[in-house]
Amino acid sequence: MQRLALGLALAALLCVSCTRGRPLPSAADYVLLVPDWKGHVVHRIALDGTYEGDFLDDSRADDPKVNRTFWNEPLGILYLDGTPGRFWLTTGRAVGEWDGRGRFVRVVQDDSAVLEVPTCIVRVGDEIFIASADTKDMHVFALDGKPLRTFGYPEMYRANDCKVGPDGMIYIGSTQRNTAMPGVVSIWDPQDTNESAKPRAYRIPGNVNDDGTYWVQGLEFDDDGNLLITEFSRGRLERWNLATNERVAVLLDSDQAGTYLKLERGPDGLIYMVGPAGVYRFDARATPESLKDLKPFFDARQLDGRYPEPFSPSGIAFAPRSAIEPPRG
């Protein structure tokens, strides 16, 4: 446990120092992709807040070669380096690959008995890790889509989100299932993925009391290696010190369940957060005082009348504009 804490501290220091003096990528060079599980679309949003439409090709609904399961209820999207752009999209029942024009390319996984409700997807080196919420395990794929191995069950609780930490470990946020859960964030070594693999540690002890934290919906890391999480049931954004396993601050408190959902570090170094009201962004070092007047830079009311369902973001990712086609229309 002490080695993990030391590793986190050193990795955080290196992460901060390596960016000093280097210009961050221009926000104009990137686009935000937001899967919307109720709308069955992947919203394409410029980083100035302009809505650019659906990333996925409009013809998919009428194409008999594209099974609806590959775009129905999208949950997460991952950009893979390459020309033309390659994207993996996870949906309620499947995983598929799409190109930079938003066209379906191929099946990656289509067996809900094996992988169902894949809520998060991350890349580590030449492998892609996809957490299956319903089967409560992690599936590892090669970049060509070949399934490699599965691990985690029964120690892996229902996953809501996952990120690779500054120490190279995979952090998985879950919802407390019972009082015996050692923590609602489990930490896994991506180099130790045999069938009997166990988490290296747990963080954030689940607490269902009035002020407790027990439903981690989204997670990301700040500049100091602390964990930023969204607490779904409380409608909060919190900061946790992983070394002491203590909550440092409640940064936002809406007192309404589901106000804040997934988190992602942007190419500009800022933290991006989705919720029903839109997309927010803020400095990773933010304080409750600096966030007290936070409003979405992308207001979901821009979507009024475009789709039959309200904005229901289930993921968030960035892609270089060079990897995708210009907006249609």
pLDDT in tens, 256-302: 999 999 999 999 999 999 999 999 999 999 999 999 999 999 999 99
Q: Does residue 68 lie in a domain region?
A: yes
Distance CA 167, CA 163 (A): 11
pLDDT in tens, 30-45: 999 999 999 999 999 9
Q: Does residue 70 lie in a domain region?
A: yes
Q: The whole model's pTM is what?
A: 0.91
Q: State the total domains in the chain.
A: 1
Q: What CATH number should be reported for the domain holding residue 155?
A: 2.120.10.30
Phi-psi sector, 301: left (phi>0), alpha (psi -120 to 50), beta: alpha
Over residues 71-84, mean pLDDT? 90
Distance CA 299, CA 313 (A): 13
pLDDT in tens, 217-231: 999 999 999 999 999
Q: Does residue 9 lie in a domain region?
A: no
Contacts of 268 (CB under 8 A, 6+ apart): 24, 25, 27, 47
Q: Does residue 247 lie in a domain region?
A: yes
Residue-number span of the structural domain to which 74 is assigned: 28-323
pLDDT in tens, 130-175: 999 999 999 999 999 999 999 999 999 999 999 999 999 999 999 9
